[in-house]
Amino acid sequence: MLTKKTATGIGIGSLAITLGAYFLILTVSSNAHQVNDIVNIGKNDVFQFDAQKHFFEQLNVTGNSFHVKLKTPSDGLQVDNDFKNEASFSWYSLKNGQHFINITNTGDAILHVSGTLEATTNPLIITSHLIVISSGVLIVGMSAAFSIRKPRGF
């Protein structure tokens, strides 16, 4: 028969394993990030991310007046211009590396920024999910061991 502490420990460990595995699968399977931002007057919006070769990026900016500075690795898309009303950018990464996008609102109305940016996943995020899963396994194992024989002091 399981004690309340043992059942609680097994439940918490199972929850940690389940959540860690779920978010690990989401992190590994999805590298596209949907962008839907609003930039106020005089403010800017910055995107900085790493992308692999052949990743497709798309960004649309709509507003009164704005400045876009966009840098991609190698000889890819390089933009440093002022725009009015609307600007659309679509490109494929020509080389692995860091992309930098800075959108500054220079008009007298808000800007709408939308699009899809594909980025590589940070290995530290994957490691953190694996740590949560292994902690859950450890909690379940310790809880199950306590139900077999109570250690001294518990």
Instruction: Residues 32-120: name the CATH superfamily.
Output: GOLD domain (2.60.120.680)
Distance CA 15, CA 126 (A): 18
Q: Residue 32's pLDDT is what?
A: 79
Total Cβ atoms within 10 A of residue 5: 13
Domain residue limits, the chain: 1-31+121-154, 32-120
Q: Match 């399977």 to its residue by tokens.
A: 29
pLDDT, averaged across the chain? 87
Q: What Rg do the C-alpha atoms of the chain give, in angstroms?
A: 24
pTM of the complete model beyond 0.85: no
Q: What is the mean pLDDT of each run of 10 residues along the chain (154 residues)?
A: 83 94 84 86 89 88 92 86 91 88 90 87 86 94 77 64
